[in-house]
Amino acid sequence: MFLLTSCSQMTLDPSPTYPVCSKTRGFSWSWSNNNMANQGLTYDGCNFFRQRLVLSTLSGKRVKIRNIRSKDDNPGLRDFEASFIRLMDKITNGTRIEINQTGTVLFYQPGLLYGGTVEHECNPQRSIGYYLEALLMLAPFMKTPLRATLKGVTNDQKDPSVDTLKATAIPLMKKFGLDGEGLELKVVKRGMPPGGGGEVLFSCPVRKTIRPVQLTDPGKIKRIRGTAYSVRVSPQMANRIVDSARSILNKFIPDIYIYTDHMKGANSGKSPGFGLTLVAETTSGTFLSAELVSNPQGQGDPVLPEDLGRNCAKLLLEEVYRGGCVDSTNQSLLLLYMTLGQQDVSKALLGPLSPYTIEFLRHIRDFFQIMFKMETQKQEEDSQKGGDKVLMTCVGAGFTNISKTLK
């Protein structure tokens, strides 16, 4: 009979007003001064939108983002960003979101991460990977274990695909003590852009704390696995991709197996397409990945599966060249977990930092006051071990999951 009501609210204000947090002014002896609310952070522009909201939710600091595409012909938040905000609202309790009428200013006051069973229709402008990356960051710190069903585009050219995240991010999370049968990422249906129609099931257990890691040895690549998928096209496409990809990778290692995954009927989504995901696993359990997807139907020239396979293999080689204990897509996830660890030293060897990661590091400093020690590790000229690496070291913030209920 009695239902728990979420006090989340999402309002569209006619004017960009929002309650400004009154600053704590020195020692004032009145008791009204004891407001403990943190001051918010202000950012400009829509880039790194997810980072800001995720870190805000984890740190409890409010965030105001201004000038979102303010000079654009079509100003304001896009549909996929609105969809992302809605997802954040679903997994939290007590979140306050205010957007002005044009959508150029967003105010976000985070609530507590709630979790539970969530179903979300992701906007097909971006793939599910866009939403899933944020969920991966938040999922271990929920009140109840998250069980999210995301519907939309599973693979596209912009974001890391669900297959890649399944092959790289999930083993990475296991290194931080997030194991058990609760951790699962399952592709139920595949959906290609622009139609979408895919479905992904993601479930993750909750943890009170995350343990520090020392990932300084990337190891050597012992096997390469991959998935060549095709939906609503000839099943032969996948085989052609596999052959061309193997032709390049066979020069390095014989242990290659690329699965072909042809989904049919209800599981194949709404649009045709094909693609390849490659994952290289090393002796120390590091996963490096590369992927390539065909152009969406009606956009750009059609791609030959042979070209796609070859290019994807080359991308994997590029990723191997960059090296490190995590591939370039998951750098930020790794750094976040390191930041949220106990107050102990965590270390990780990374390849060159991607622009996204660099911005993420800045955001971590803004939200958690954590700075990383970065040491460039030069590779010897004849070592033949790819490019230079960066050793990232930090002392964890001592973050504890304050949402989790004690029984």
- Judged by CB under 8 A, the residue of 15, 20, 36, 181 near other proteins is 36
Residue 390 near other proteins by CB under 8 A: yes
User: In whole angstroms, how close is the CB of 327 to other proteins at the nearest point?
Assistant: 9
- Judged by CB under 8 A, the residue of 14, 265, 302, 355 near other proteins is 355
Burial class, 295, CB count within 10 angstroms (exposed 0-12 / middle 13-18 / buried 19+): middle
State CA 274 to chain mean position distance.
22
Stretch that binds other proteins, among 56-64, 173-181, 199-207, 226-234 (CB under 8 A): 56-64
- Helix 128-138 vs helix 331-339: angle between axes, to the nearest 10 degrees? 20
| Nearer residue to other proteins within complex by CB, 161 or 203 | 161
HSE-CB of 167 using CA atoms within 13 angstroms: 25
Beta strands in 283-388 (DSSP E): 287-293, 345-350, 373-377
Residue 221 near other proteins by CB under 8 A: yes
Residue 266 near other proteins by CB under 8 A: no
Backbone angles phi, psi at 131, to 5 degrees: -80, -35
- Judged by CB under 8 A, the residue of 9, 17, 33, 102 near other proteins is 33
Using CB under 8 A as the binding rule, the residues of this chain from 129 to 188 that contact other proteins are: 130, 133, 143, 158-160
User: In whole angstroms, how close is the CB of 128 to other proteins at the nearest point?
Assistant: 14
CB 202 within 8 A of CB 148: yes
Q: Are strands 63-66 and 106-109 parallel, antiparallel or unpaired?
A: antiparallel
Evaluated on CA atoms 51, 54, 59, 62, the torsion sign reads positive
- Judged by CB under 8 A, the residue of 39, 101, 102, 234 near other proteins is 39
State CA 353 to chain mean position distance.
16
Burial class, 185, CB count within 10 angstroms (exposed 0-12 / middle 13-18 / buried 19+): buried
| Nearer residue to other proteins within complex by CB, 186 or 208 | 208
- Judged by CB under 8 A, the residue of 17, 67, 117, 247 near other proteins is 67
User: In whole angstroms, how close is the CB of 163 to other proteins at the nearest point?
Assistant: 14
Residue 273 near other proteins by CB under 8 A: no
Residue 74 near other proteins by CB under 8 A: no
The site map against other proteins for 315-354 (x = CB under 8 A) is x-xx-xxxx----xx--x---------xxxx-x----xxx
DSSP structure class, residue 141: G
User: In whole angstroms, how close is the CB of 91 to other proteins at the nearest point?
Assistant: 13
- Judged by CB under 8 A, the residue of 18, 19, 24, 307 near other proteins is 24
- Number of amino acids touching other proteins (CB under 8 A): 120
Backbone angles phi, psi at 50, to 5 degrees: -65, -45
| Nearer residue to other proteins within complex by CB, 152 or 212 | 212
SS3 368: helix
- Judged by CB under 8 A, the residue of 10, 201, 253, 266 near other proteins is 253
Residues 6+ apart with CB under 8 A from 36: none
| Cα–Cα distance, 178 to 176 (Å, whole number) | 6
User: In whole angstroms, how close is the CB of 333 to other proteins at the nearest point?
Assistant: 9
User: In whole angstroms, how close is the CB of 372 to other proteins at the nearest point?
Assistant: 8
